[in-house]
């Protein structure tokens, strides 16, 4: 009799304590939905009520404490013709990742999201209430409008590391002299030319942001949120006041890899949050295959955004042949079943349970495009990698891994099979890479709290303290000219100039008098 009573009391208490959180992952990028789902999962497990705005809705959503706002039609923005094919990138030497393009990508995705009919309906409902907003951050701050609408704290989740583009939102941007752009392949310590490059990149980014993107975003912000607030008798705060008002930023980077700038107190690392522990058991056939691979297993995947099947056909054939010459078993994540003459030691899988494969003791190495999730998993499970970066932050990730001594890099080119084979042989014959990789997990796991509970703690903390404003950096509101003491410099210049001017006048006068005296003598 007593137990059910206690249980229902417990539930009531949970309901009282539970926060209503809007978790919003509106970018049509599949890997980001992995992050979004993990955030939602951890918050729900802690008893909070989650409303999840997503482009990739869960097929079997949990029945309790969970609701989805489906914006899956936004996939059209990246799907179809625009889906990047590796063959296209390879043949056109495509620099897809200019900072201008990415700013516009984020902005366009935000415009589509805020004007999506499901989102509009949701925003216009006056009965919606939230205690916190947790939103994916990429190059646009437009979603800050949610925090204004629901009068609650704003928390960002950034899928990458401590880059200046995000730190500037809660503190100051670290100097380009040691904080290279995430699209750059420069790694600390920077040479003189690299430092100048980084400064130039930043000036370009800021110029485009200030004079184009941010202006347009202000317009979207006012047109979307203005009328809704007006209907509720409220006025819209200024966009500038809103975007620099975030309570906290989570960063999806791990603690094991060096090369991070110092960060403010309201910047928290939660890298690895997407890894479920213990990992799910492998499918029976894969488990048997890996168990029986006496010479070890090489796992090859180019991630979910860039698919192996979009490699040129000729390259695919040569890769298969090259893999066939190896003693190891090769598991290749390849997205269709069109391959012929697959060698005996090569296993094609359309979809791979990556963490479970990387966790297997027989794994020898991971051939990867160097996306952030794959990079984190390699570190988490201590697997040496050969990186084949294609675009975006992959180049930086792979460079960092190489610098940390557990990875090799091979450029994407028509010579990929040959170069990859060389790299595989180097790695197979040199234990240093494996040994270095084996050190990483201990570094990565040696932290006070795991990323999941850390996320929950900080979201609750922000909720409890209504925005954790005491964690905010005072530097945020000090303009650049004050930080650099340019005003003092201006005063010193002015005084010096005035003194020099006066002195020169005085000297002239004196020499004028002397000359006069000379003449009269
Ligand atoms: C900034 O955030 C705090 C805490 O979440 C909130 O109380 C305040 O209204 C926000 N200010 C603006 C201009 O949105």
pLDDT tens, position by position, 9-32: 555 544 447 999 999 999 988 888
Q: In this structure, are residues 61 and 44 in contact, taking their beta carbons and an 8 Å threshold? A: no
Pocket test for ligand 1, best of 245, 247, 266, 462 (most atoms within 8 A of CB): 245
pLDDT for 5: 58
In short, whether 247's Cβ falls inside 6 Å of ligand 1 is yes
Mutate which of 147, 156, 239, 469 for ligand 1 pocket (most atoms within 8 A of beta carbon): 147
Check residue 260 and give its pLDDT: 85
User: Burial, 455: exposed, middle or buried (Cβ in 10 Å; 0-12, 13-18, 19+)?
Assistant: buried
pLDDT at 469: 94
**How far is the C-alpha of 180 from the C-alpha of 176, rounded, in Å?**
6
Structure tokens at 512: 């004028």
Asked whether the beta carbons of 463 and 131 are under 8 A apart, the reply is yes
Whole-number Å distance between alpha carbons of 303 and 202: 29
The pTM of this model reads 0.88
Domain with CATH 3.40.50.2000 in the chain: 17-275+450-477, 284-445
Using CA atoms, how far apart are residues 417 and 315, in angstroms rounded to an integer? 7
How is domain 284-445 classified at the CATH fold level? Rossmann fold (3.40.50)
Of the candidates 304, 299, 297, 357, the residue with the CA atom closest to the CA atom of residue 328? 297
pLDDT confidence of residue 456:
97
Q: What's the rounded Cα separation, in Å, for the pair 61 and 67?
A: 8
For position 3, what pLDDT does the model report? Answer: 58
Cβ atoms of 298 and 364 within 8 Å: the answer is yes
345 lines ligand 1 (CB under 6 A): no
User: Helices marked H in 2-137 — which ranges?
Assistant: 2-17, 30-45, 86-92, 99-114, 117-124
- Residue-level pLDDT at 236: 97
Superfamily (CATH H level) for 17-275+450-477 = Glycogen Phosphorylase B; (3.40.50.2000)
Q: Which residues of the chain have pLDDT under 70?
A: 1-16, 79-84, 92-97, 255-257, 513-521
152 CA to middle of ligand 1, Å? Answer: 7
DSSP type of residue 211: I
């Amino acid at each position: 009799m007593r137990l059910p009573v206690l249980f229902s009391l417990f539930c009531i208490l949970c309901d009282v304590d539970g926060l209503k959180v809007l978790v919003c992952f509106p970018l049509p990028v599949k890997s980001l939905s992995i992050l979004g789902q993990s955030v939602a999962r951890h918050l729900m497990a802690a008893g909070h009520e989650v409303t999840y705005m997503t482009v990739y809705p869960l097929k079997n959503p949990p029945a309790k404490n969970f609701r989805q706002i489906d914006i899956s039609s936004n996939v059209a923005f990246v799907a179809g013709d625009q889906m990047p094919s590796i063959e296209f990138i390879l043949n056109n030497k495509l620099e897809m990742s200019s900072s201008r393009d990415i700013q516009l990508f984020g902005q366009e995705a935000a415009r589509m999201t805020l004007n999506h009919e499901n989102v509009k309906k949701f925003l216009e409902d006056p009965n919606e209430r939230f205690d916190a907003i947790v939103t994916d951050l990429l190059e646009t701050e437009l979603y800050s409008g949610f925090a204004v609408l629901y009068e609650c704290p704003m928390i960002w989740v950034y899928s990458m590391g401590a880059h200046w583009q995000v730190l500037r939102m809660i503190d100051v941007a670290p100097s380009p002299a040691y904080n290279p752009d995430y699209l750059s392949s420069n790694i600390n310590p920077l040479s003189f030319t690299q430092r100048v490059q980084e400064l130039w990149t930043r000036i370009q980014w800021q110029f485009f942001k200030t004079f184009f993107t941010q202006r347009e975003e202000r317009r979207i912000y006012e047109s979307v949120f203005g009328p809704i607030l007006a209907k509720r008798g409220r006025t819209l705060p200024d966009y500038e006041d809103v975007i620099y008002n975030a309570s906290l930023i989570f960063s999806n980077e791990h603690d094991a890899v060096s090369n991070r700038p110092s960060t403010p107190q309201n910047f928290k690392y939660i890298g690895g949050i997407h890894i479920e522990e213990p990992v799910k058991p492998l499918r029976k056939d894969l488990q048997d295959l890996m168990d029986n691979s006496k010479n070890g297993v090489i796992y090859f995947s180019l991630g979910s955004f860039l698919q192996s099947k979009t490699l040129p056909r000729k390259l695919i054939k040569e890769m298969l042949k090259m893999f066939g010459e190896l003693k190891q078993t090769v598991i290749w994540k390849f997205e269709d079943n069109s391959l012929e003459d697959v060698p005996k030691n090569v296993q094609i899988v359309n979809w791979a349970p990556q963490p479970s494969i990387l966790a297997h003791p027989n794994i020898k190495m991971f051939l990867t495009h160097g996306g952030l999730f794959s990079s984190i998993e390699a570190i988490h499970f201590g697997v040496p990698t050969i990186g084949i970066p294609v675009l975006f932050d992959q180049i930086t990730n792979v460079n960092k891994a190489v610098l940390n001594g557990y990875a090799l890099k091979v450029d994407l080119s028509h010579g990929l099979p040959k170069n990859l084979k060389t790299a595989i042989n180097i790695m197979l014959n040199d234990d240093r890479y494996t040994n270095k990789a084996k050190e990483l997990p201990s570094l990565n796991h040696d932290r006070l709290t795991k990323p999941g509970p850390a996320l929950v703690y900080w979201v609750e903390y922000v909720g409890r303290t209504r925005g954790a404003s005491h964690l905010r950096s005072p530097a945020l509101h000090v303009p650049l000219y004050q930080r650099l003491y340019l005003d003092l410099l201006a005063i010193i210049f002015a005084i010096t100039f005035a003194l020099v001017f006066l002195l020169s006048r005085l000297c002239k006068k004196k020499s004028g008098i002397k000359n006069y005296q000379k003449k009269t003598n």
